């Protein structure tokens, strides 16, 4: 998939990905950091997995094996349950 990104866009895209944390801080007007955003996402994901294993089904987004695109993995909504991703 990366090979399909036009050469003239790659440098701009690389810079944007590298500066993503700075963009988060700017978007929050200095009231937080990208690290806190990632920590919140990790905590939310962890709670969903643990709740699912305890029998309380929860739906969240996860990076999983997928056939949505030609890529082998993709972020999709999944439901966590007693047996993991259902």
**Percent of the chain with pLDDT strictly greater than 90:** 37
Distance of alpha carbon 10 from alpha carbon 19, whole angstroms: 14
Distance of alpha carbon 48 from alpha carbon 68, whole angstroms: 23
DSSP state letters, the chain: -GGGS-HHHHHHHHHHHHTHHHHHHHHTTTSS-HHHHHHHHHHHHHHHHHHHHTT--EEEEEEEE-SSSSSSEEEEEEEEETTEE-
How do residues 23-63 score in pLDDT, each as one tens digit?
A: 877 887 877 677 777 888 889 999 999 999 999 999 999 98
């Amino acid at each position: 998939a990366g090979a399909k990104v036009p050469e003239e866009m790659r440098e701009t895209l690389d810079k944007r990905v590298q500066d993503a944390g700075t963009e988060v801080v700017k978007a929050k007007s200095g009231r937080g950091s990208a690290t806190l955003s990632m920590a919140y996402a990790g905590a939310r994901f962890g709670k969903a997995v643990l709740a699912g294993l305890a029998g309380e089904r929860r739906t969240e987004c996860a990076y999983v094996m997928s056939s949505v695109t030609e890529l082998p993995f993709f972020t999709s909504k999944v439901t966590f349950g007693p047996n993991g991703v259902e």
